[in-house]
A and B are shown apart, each in its own frame.
Chain A
Amino acid sequence: MSDQFLLFLVRYLHVISGVMWIGLLWYFNFVQIPNMGKIPDEQKPAISKVIAPEALFWFRWGAAFTVLFGLILAWMNGYLVDALLLKVPEIGFGMWLGLIMAFNVWFVIWPKQQIALGIKEADADAKPKAARTAMLFSRTNTMLSIPMLFSMVSMQNNFY
């Protein structure tokens, strides 16, 4: 396997994981959250007990593998440290935004969603509070995904 093909393969895996992650992030924010209020109460468990836990599984692992393959790709291209130090800001800003977003997924959104969806035991009062925190951090990630994707695509297409 040539180095060039290996580089392509890692980039492909980075992109395919990223589509899984950001696709589900946008599904939550553009489809699920705005429409939960329109679903009758007796039908809500279909979302909270079936769809959301499954979507969250692919969402958080999509985030983890996007970061893993992204860091490998940056290392293979020789700009990992320089990008993280913002000496290559074209990709550096995007990498930092992606890292912040992945941190939010694993250390805020997923723990709070476990409480909100009843996967983890918690007081009844804690559920709406956890759901709101998860929603706000999910929205933060939606906001950050716009410049993050700009950075990723502009680097690939020599925009600057």
Chain B
Amino acid sequence: MSKILESLPLTIVAGVVLTVIMAFLTDSMTSSSGLSGAMKDAQGQISDMTK
């Protein structure tokens, strides 16, 4: 791990890899979560109201 952190380009690559993992994980969690679904609905309603 310290080998990666000693190199700035490898640190950035590691950050991007973590971002992709987090995005897929979040997507899978939100598609199976009623709470997040409800939150998305509420955000959609607020967005419609402001149009």
Q: Give A contacts to B, CB under 8 Å.
A: 29-30, 34, 79, 82, 86-90, 93, 136, 139-140, 142-147, 150-151, 154, 158, 160
- Interface class of chain B by DSSP: helix
Residues of A contacting B26 in the complex (Cβ-Cβ under 8 angstroms): 89-90, 93, 151, 154, 160
Q: Which residues of B contact A142 (CB under 8 A)?
A: 8, 11-12, 15
Within 8 A of A (CB), among B16-32: 16, 18-19, 22-23, 25-27, 29-30
Interchain CB contact under 8 A, A87 and B36: yes
Which B residues lie within 8 Å of A150 (CB)? 19, 22-23
Size band of the B side of the interface? 20 to 34
What's the least CB distance linking B43 to chain A, in Å? Answer: 6
Contacts of B2 in A (CB 8 A): 136
Number of A-B residue pairs, CB cutoff 8 Å, is 71
Cα distance, A64 to B35, chains bound together (Å)? 30
Is there contact, CB below 8 Å, between A143 and B25?
no
Partner of B22, one of A87, A93, A145: A93
Given contacts A79-B39, A88-B39, A160-B30, contact A143 B8 (CB under 8 A): no
Q: Which residue of A lies closest to B31 (CB)?
A: A160
In the bound complex, do residue A87 and residue B33 qualify as a contact, i.e. CB atoms below 8 Å apart?
yes
Contact of B15 among A30, A93, A145, A151 (CB under 8 A): A145
Determine which of B8, B16, B18, B25 lies in contact with A30 in the assembled complex, contact meaning CB atoms within 8 Å. B8
